[in-house]
Structure 1
Amino acid sequence: MVEGDARIQGRVGPRLAGAATTLVLLAGTVLFGRVVHGHYPIQKWLVWHYAGAWLGVLVVLAASYGLGHVLVRRAFSLRLPLCEHAITALAVGVFGYEILVFLAGIFQLYRAPTFFLLPLLLLAAVSVPLARHLAHVRRVLARASRRAPRLSTGAILALAFGLLGLGLVYVNVLTPHNVQFDARWKHMALAEDYVLHGGVHPSIEGFVFSARPHFSSYLYTWAFLLPGGRLFDRMVLAAHLEFAIFLVTTVFFLPVLVRRLVPRVDPRWIWAVRFLFPGVLLYDSSVSGGADHVGAMFAVPIALCLFRVLRDLDPRRAALLGLLAAGAALTKETVAIMLVPFPALALLVQSIHAAGKARREGKPARPALAAPLVFGLAALVATSPLWLKNFVFYGDPVYPLSHRFLDLHPFSEDAAYRFQYGYLEGKMWAPSRDLQGFAETVSALGLFSFLPNDWSKFHGDVPVFGSLFTLLLPSLLLVRVNKHVWLLVAWIHVAIFTWYAVNHQDRYLQAQLPLMAAVTAALALSLYRASGRPARAALFGLVGLQVVWGGDVYFFQTHVFAKSPPKQVIDLLSSGFDQKFEERFAVQNRFQTVGAQIPPGSRLLLHLMHTHHGHLGTGVPTVLDNYLWQFGIEYGRAGSPEGVRKRLRELGVTHAFVAPEKESDGSNSIAADILFWEYARSGLEERRIVEGGILGRVTDAPITAPFRDVALVLGCSKDAPPRGLYRVTDLHILPYGPNAREFPAPQAEAATKEAAEKLLPVTEYAVLEKQCYEQQKPPELLERFEQLVERRSHGAWKKLEIWARKREGSD
């Protein structure tokens, strides 16, 4: 038999045998393709959507890496160890790519061709140095692979644990329903808005987020330039960009830092320590279209650059550190407070110390002081895309922080008050500014992972963040560790202190987690190497407890939109079997439906409460009038429904969508609610109910009907404005801050509820304190009035109902 086979091979020849084998396999592929195509058309497979997303991501990352490589080598003239160079180049390159997308927007180049041209032209521009660099990388990796030892059983288990964590995170990315709440009204919504406008533009309503650091939105803007794509594809592409950054930050960046802290660590598995912090598997600390994980990309490069610049105060390294700090700062304010202040302060202290030492030795001190100056200058220049744009668009580089000193636009009459007491003091999670608040902040340094700092509806009081970093800190006194470990521990605690004092939601700590994970790995490895079997067994027990405790976190069904993203993915992947080829791409249906009913060239006002204003998908330029997030619209000062209409037309608004019907979040004034909802009731034309809200057209024609400026407040406690008859325009007082109860004297006072109710015949509007009328409302009210809107409890006031006198012909 063997001799026969040899004779056949000799007659046919190896080439002909290979060709025959190829034809057999191709025929099998075609046959199998024809069979499966009849059940599930190949062109409708979901795999093409994800393959396209990965192709786009890889092109962007390759172009970004090439850009970063050129900048680090040529602009900064630095030669770093290969792995350190690679992670630094990628962070610098992604930041550079964001700036390029921003510049394209400034020149109004957000058109379909830009989606292809921007990354491809950049890749072509850096192709030669990038090709040379990658050839060198291949040679280094080839040599390293020949010397790499076999993985131990423990290392294999750790690698499997890490791969499982990555797989769980990626599964959720497959569905756009995984995208978080904030991304649907900020990160991705802003990207969609820029694309609809054709470029970066000032927010006519003074939307504060458009002026805040938000450079991850420019990454998503590139994704939303996808020509001819569904909202599904654009959201999935944007989510894949974030996941890819999380992937490289975890798998490649983290081992480089750990190896600087603990020599001879195997990078093939040590990155798995990242998943000892299981909070990343749960909404809203997960990879879900936000900015926190994009910001985390800068943590390790900043740390490595800081180590070097503190050693030699090299101005080139200081400039690079300034650039990296700028990249972190422009991603998000909470990323900035995590990653920028400590390195800046450490560099300044080291420079002052070096300058003092130089003076004592009779040497010039100026060279030592150059590093922090170069750092500051580089950071200032690199952040100019934000502050210079803000100055041109709004008259304030840090809009609206400088309202006391500069002439801002837009900036309404009550904007300064709203910004201070509604936004800064009302929207931030911060302790009180007293001794008790300080003590609470200090205690958070040790308790932050044990006492959840998150919305209670997500995981209640169950700690899911991960506590090994804190629990291993005492080992600093038991084992010898690299001095850089101490530096990182100090940095992390300064960041935690600042985080808790400013805005302490758990998800914001994701920007700092690569440093926490690296320190955790360093301490665990140091303990393992320095300890005997009993201590090692105890260490394994502690780590095992954390792994088991966090083992079910991924399955908590607490996602705001998806409830359970894995379940959403299962439904999505089974949609082909169910022949739901179009239905499966449905996402943000409510707002897509609203946008589809508005003519091209329109501008849509969205009057939505903060709890449900994730308006991504309208497909038309939008204006948000939420009182705590914009500073150019003030309905309470409009004077009449005609004033509301006039202001909307000044903003170019052609249509308004008001949802949900007859409900207000209470963050604005009573006058604002009365005037806006009266306009929505009588001034909007072509009103119709769409997706649970009112959609109507804002006309150019003035409202000529007279407006009766009379409102009656019916209450029984101090949780509402004082009882009596007011002009509507006198009720412009906001429900928070020191002036929340500073109402002018009523035109007609009412000492009791009964006395106030007797004024119902002379008023046009009635404001009821709801808790006072739970059992029975005045008969006159029910007969002559209709409910205009219900205000939620907010600030100093409990729930209020606003009623308007019925118009002729109404029921």
Structure 2
Amino acid sequence: MESGEARIQGRAGGRLGSAAVALVLLAGMAYFGKVVHAHYPIQQWLVWHYAGMWLGVLVVLAGAYGLGHVLVRRAFGLRLPLLEHAITAFAVGIFGYEILVFLAGLLQLYRAPTFFVLPLGLLAAVSVPLARHLAHVRRVLARASRRAPPLGKGAILALVFGCLGLGLLYFNILTPQNVQFDARWKHMAIAEDYVLHGGIHPSAEGWVFSARPHFSSYLYTWAFLLPKARLFDRMVLAAHLEFAAFLFTTVVGIPALVRRLVRGADPRWIWAVRFLFPGVLLYDSSVSGGADHLGAMYAVPIALCTFRVLRDFDPRRAALLGVLAAGAALTKETVAIMLVPFPALALLVQSIRAARNNRRALLAPLAFGLAALVATSPLWLKNFVFYGDPVYPLSHRFLNLHPFSEDAAYRFQYGYLEGKMWAPTRDLAGLAETASSLWLFSFLPNDWGKFHGDVPVFGSLFTLLLPALLLVRVDRRVWFLVAWIHVAIFAWYSVHHQDRYLQGQLPLMTAVTAVLLLSLYRSFGRPTRAALFGLVGLQVVWGGDVYFIQTHVHAKSPPKQVIDLLSGGFDQKYTDRFAVQARFQNIGAEVPPGSRLLLHLMHVHHGHLGTGHRTVLDNYLWQFGIEYGRAGSPEGVRKRLRALGVTHAFVAPEKESDGSNSIAADILFWEFAQSGLAERRVLEGGVLGRVTDTPITAPFHDAALILGCTKDAPPRGLYRVNDLHVLPYGPKALDFPASEAEAATKEAAERLIPTAEYVILEKQCYEQKPAALLQSFELLVERRSSGAWKKLEIWARKR
């Protein structure tokens, strides 16, 4: 009896003691909070921003994963090993979530409530099967943890190495300055534009990227729906979504594939092999708001599903493979050419071979094709409705496209396809160059020279270990992956070979590298293991400084930017630290609400994210609805812009053109910019003005004199402005009509200056400008060298 009372008293005393300790700790927390609040207000702490972002990301990921789980288990009726199921459900779920965002956009539901309703509604809808699945996952992991041997020293070292790599990547995305150049005018810019419009809409100017695969933009659209938020928070939230996809692909996806290829591979650390490819730590292959790593999310599930389909030709698995292929294809074209054709062709060939004994095998490619067609319909059907072409503007020879200007077909072929793609020549030399890339792609950088010059940073262990395939016994599916990867490299190099595009293929390269490392380690003795550690160590040491190379286009060094951001609290820069895209935010602040803003920008300036207004982009190489050179007059330019709904225009930099358009286009546009923009003011390195509602009535005199001296410029003579709509690239770059007054020599041409309203002067021909030019003319615009033409200056008669 006494012992029972003692136990009761002991429990009561324990509870009182625990409560007392809790009160002491809470009091200490309150006191410490009061002290630090006086130095750095708690509500200003950055931790709340990132905690809120992770909360939102986890809700989206949970809902998307639950959706993928339900689709894989119930819609396709498949049961997979846990890791395979996880990466497959994740990829399918993210694709499904993007489709839900797309459908909300079609219904014009891009409003603040959608930010909360869409992910929470999805999570509620899948909560019951998701909870059951997570309970199953906990049981499986508990059993696995009891059976798993403790990590060895090498595994612990690898795990630390991998966690360090993940930490370095995550540290960068804390600042929106880390977001890459292309994301600021494509991926995130599309998301911002859709949100400002309230939903998905056709591009008035026929901007090609709005019609290309860009499903990552729908994922980012959810982030840009964040209500009453700074651009800083929206950009960083979008970057967190990309990082989460990379994290899941790396930590879950790569082990799932390696375990399928190597018996007993330990998933706890094998994923760290991903960071033996250090290019991922450097701009612009890093996690920086683009689409490549979101495309890479599909690599492993496509590979795993392909293995199973080629084994049993199950139409359900083939349909799932079609959906996964569609998700990859809708993310990015470069992802599509690397991840889709090879498994699709393998399925077709193997199905035809198997059909000799089992005609049901032919159902597999049919199921694959039908599923892929339906799953890609959000792109091609939308394009057909919006632009009259499912693959706008590729079908311009056969369909009636809209918008599609007079010279759009020529611009698309010779300015866009041939002028903007990194591709070898289409001859034997180009074929040899492409074939050599299969070995040299990691040793000879394929990147902008200003980033890391000719220094190889991609990571070369995949290539260096390939000869070991002849020395060790591996699963034949490894050979399948090796063939697939090299076909993908061949296609990549043939079409547009920038290193960052290979990130979409890197999970497969990583898996093969891991398989070879494990196989060599297990198959040979200490000398081989020592050489293996030496090779891996050399790669690690060589790539050790990649993270610190300061070549980011916007941030120079993202780690430094993050340090400045984190120290902003100490410096009491509570508002200034959130500045990002200041130039375009300042421009947008000067434009009235509800306006549509034309941005006449050169290529180096067009990362226009942040204006806060619906925009029209008139860059000649990326839109096919605006043709200033055919407008006839400055008034024609004004009328075309008003027809597009443009109310304001920002032209930058003033008096300079990137040279991608025609001479007529430059003359007509810049004359419009002088006479058709009201309330002009110099702002952020350009001119901002309102497009007038009243017509431009001043007479337009269109006599234009060309003064040149080389074959790299339009021929000398006197022309009409409207005859100068020739573009500087392609086979017609010098195909000008006969001049009204020919000039056989420079001197003869200069004598025609008094008869001209405009003078086009080839810059390299004139160290001293003609006196008649300087006396009566002023510089209208200077054209950069472009295509077949050198630098030109366009002068207009003084008024």
TM-score (norm 1): 0.97
1:781, CA displacement in angstroms? 1.2
Number of the residue aligned with 2:789: 797
> In structure 2, what is the Cα distance between the partners aligned to 1:778 and 1:525?
74
Counterpart residue identity of residue 153, structure 1: K
> In structure 2, what is the Cα distance between the partners aligned to 1:234 and 1:313?
44
> In structure 2, what is the Cα distance between the partners aligned to 1:169 and 1:346?
35
**133 and 7 in structure 1: CA distance in 2 versus 1, 3 angstrom threshold:** closer
Counterpart residue identity of residue 476, structure 1: L
Which secondary structure does the structure 1 equivalent of 2:660 belong to? Answer: coil
Counterpart mapping for 1:499-518 below 5 A = 499-518=492-511
1:572 to 565, 589, 592: 565
1:737, CA displacement in angstroms? 0.6
2:609 paired with 1:619: no
> In structure 2, what is the Cα distance between the partners aligned to 1:9 and 1:43?
43
1:698 to 682, 691, 695: 691
1:658, CA displacement in angstroms? 0.2
Counterpart residue identity of residue 535, structure 1: T
Number of the residue aligned with 2:25: 25
> In structure 2, what is the Cα distance between the partners aligned to 1:436 and 1:586?
49
Which secondary structure does the structure 2 equivalent of 1:426 belong to? Answer: helix
Number of the residue aligned with 1:361: none
> In structure 2, what is the Cα distance between the partners aligned to 1:437 and 1:778?
46
2:102 paired with 1:102: yes
> In structure 2, what is the Cα distance between the partners aligned to 1:166 and 1:790?
47
Q: Deviations over 1:500-534 (max 9, x none)?
A: 00000000000000000000000111111111111
Q: Which 4+ runs in 1 deviate beyond 4 A?
A: 6-12
> In structure 1, what is the Cα distance between the partners aligned to 2:347 and 2:556?
45
> In structure 2, what is the Cα distance between the partners aligned to 1:661 and 1:254?
50
Number of the residue aligned with 1:61: 61
Number of the residue aligned with 2:630: 637
> In structure 1, what is the Cα distance between the partners aligned to 2:352 and 2:320?
20
> In structure 2, what is the Cα distance between the partners aligned to 1:282 and 1:661?
34
> In structure 1, what is the Cα distance between the partners aligned to 2:794 and 2:472?
67
**597 and 370 in structure 1: CA distance in 2 versus 1, 3 angstrom threshold:** same
1:782, CA displacement in angstroms? 1.4
2:697 paired with 1:728: no
Name stretches of at least 5 consecutive residues in structure 1 with no aligned partner.
Answer: 1-5, 359-364
Counterpart residue identity of residue 625, structure 2: G
2:373 to 375, 380, 389: 380
Counterpart residue identity of residue 331, structure 2: T
Q: Deviations over 1:26-76 (max 9, x none)?
A: 111101000000000000001111111100100000000000000001100
**320 and 12 in structure 1: CA distance in 2 versus 1, 3 angstrom threshold:** closer
Which secondary structure does the structure 2 equivalent of 1:122 belong to? Answer: helix
Counterpart mapping for 1:638-717 below 5 A = 638-717=631-710
Number of the residue aligned with 2:299: 299
1:312, CA displacement in angstroms? 0.4
Which secondary structure does the structure 1 equivalent of 2:761 belong to? Answer: strand
Number of the residue aligned with 2:78: 78
Which secondary structure does the structure 2 equivalent of 1:668 belong to? Answer: coil
> In structure 1, what is the Cα distance between the partners aligned to 2:25 and 2:147?
37
Equivalent pair of 2:783/2:791 in contact (CA under 8 Å): yes
Number of the residue aligned with 1:312: 312
Which secondary structure does the structure 1 equivalent of 2:186 belong to? Answer: helix
Number of the residue aligned with 1:189: 189
2:138 paired with 1:138: yes
Which secondary structure does the structure 1 equivalent of 2:532 belong to? Answer: helix
Which secondary structure does the structure 1 equivalent of 2:406 belong to? Answer: coil
> In structure 2, what is the Cα distance between the partners aligned to 1:35 and 1:145?
44
Greater mean alpha carbon deviation, residues 312-321 or residues 147-156: 147-156
Q: Deviations over 1:635-683 (max 9, x none)?
A: 0000110000000000000000001111111111111011101111222
Query: What's the RMSD between the two structures over aligned residues?
Result: 1.1
2:768 paired with 1:776: yes
2:544 paired with 1:551: yes
Number of the residue aligned with 2:404: 411
Q: Deviations over 1:599-636 (max 9, x none)?
A: 11110000001111000000000000000000000000
Name stretches of at least 5 consecutive residues in structure 2 with no aligned partner.
Answer: 1-5
Number of the residue aligned with 1:600: 593
Counterpart residue identity of residue 539, structure 2: Q
Counterpart residue identity of residue 206, structure 1: G
2:576 paired with 1:583: yes
| Identity in percent | 84
1:801, CA displacement in angstroms? 0.8
Counterpart residue identity of residue 223, structure 2: A
Counterpart residue identity of residue 355, structure 2: A
Counterpart residue identity of residue 441, structure 1: T
**11 and 526 in structure 1: CA distance in 2 versus 1, 3 angstrom threshold:** closer
2:352 paired with 1:368: no
1:366, CA displacement in angstroms? 2.7
Give aligned pairs, total.
794
1:754, CA displacement in angstroms? 1.1
2:780 paired with 1:788: yes
Q: Deviations over 1:59-94 (max 9, x none)?
A: 000000000000001100111111111110010000
TM-score (norm 2): 0.99
Which secondary structure does the structure 1 equivalent of 2:400 belong to? Answer: coil
Equivalent pair of 2:279/2:286 in contact (CA under 8 Å): yes
> In structure 2, what is the Cα distance between the partners aligned to 1:114 and 1:382?
23
1:700, CA displacement in angstroms? 1.5
**132 and 10 in structure 1: CA distance in 2 versus 1, 3 angstrom threshold:** closer
1:751, CA displacement in angstroms? 0.8
> In structure 1, what is the Cα distance between the partners aligned to 2:144 and 2:23?
39
Number of the residue aligned with 1:3: none
> In structure 2, what is the Cα distance between the partners aligned to 1:745 and 1:341?
49
Which secondary structure does the structure 2 equivalent of 1:700 belong to? Answer: coil
Number of the residue aligned with 1:258: 258
> In structure 2, what is the Cα distance between the partners aligned to 1:683 and 1:198?
30
1:426, CA displacement in angstroms? 0.6
Q: Deviations over 1:709-748 (max 9, x none)?
A: 1111111101100001110111100011111110001111
> In structure 1, what is the Cα distance between the partners aligned to 2:644 and 2:129?
49
**7 and 370 in structure 1: CA distance in 2 versus 1, 3 angstrom threshold:** closer
> In structure 2, what is the Cα distance between the partners aligned to 1:146 and 1:177?
44
Which secondary structure does the structure 2 equivalent of 1:264 belong to? Answer: coil
Counterpart residue identity of residue 232, structure 1: F
Counterpart residue identity of residue 777, structure 1: K
Equivalent pair of 2:313/2:351 in contact (CA under 8 Å): yes
> In structure 2, what is the Cα distance between the partners aligned to 1:626 and 1:496?
31
2:518 paired with 1:531: no
Equivalent pair of 2:86/2:252 in contact (CA under 8 Å): no
Equivalent pair of 2:380/2:391 in contact (CA under 8 Å): yes
2:272 paired with 1:272: yes
Counterpart residue identity of residue 174, structure 1: L
Counterpart residue identity of residue 788, structure 1: L
1:738 to 725, 731, 745: 731
1:483 to 473, 476, 498: 476
Q: Deviations over 1:313-347 (max 9, x none)?
A: 00000000000000000000001001000010010
2:420 paired with 1:427: yes
Counterpart residue identity of residue 349, structure 2: V
Which secondary structure does the structure 2 equivalent of 1:563 belong to? Answer: coil
Number of the residue aligned with 1:245: 245
Number of the residue aligned with 1:217: 217
> In structure 2, what is the Cα distance between the partners aligned to 1:11 and 1:752?
108
1:699, CA displacement in angstroms? 1.2
1:765 to 758, 761, 766: 758
Which secondary structure does the structure 2 equivalent of 1:629 belong to? Answer: coil
**445 and 106 in structure 1: CA distance in 2 versus 1, 3 angstrom threshold:** same
Greater mean alpha carbon deviation, residues 144-153 or residues 310-319: 144-153
Counterpart residue identity of residue 368, structure 2: F
2:158 paired with 1:158: yes
> In structure 2, what is the Cα distance between the partners aligned to 1:397 and 1:524?
45
Number of the residue aligned with 1:47: 47
> In structure 1, what is the Cα distance between the partners aligned to 2:166 and 2:580?
25
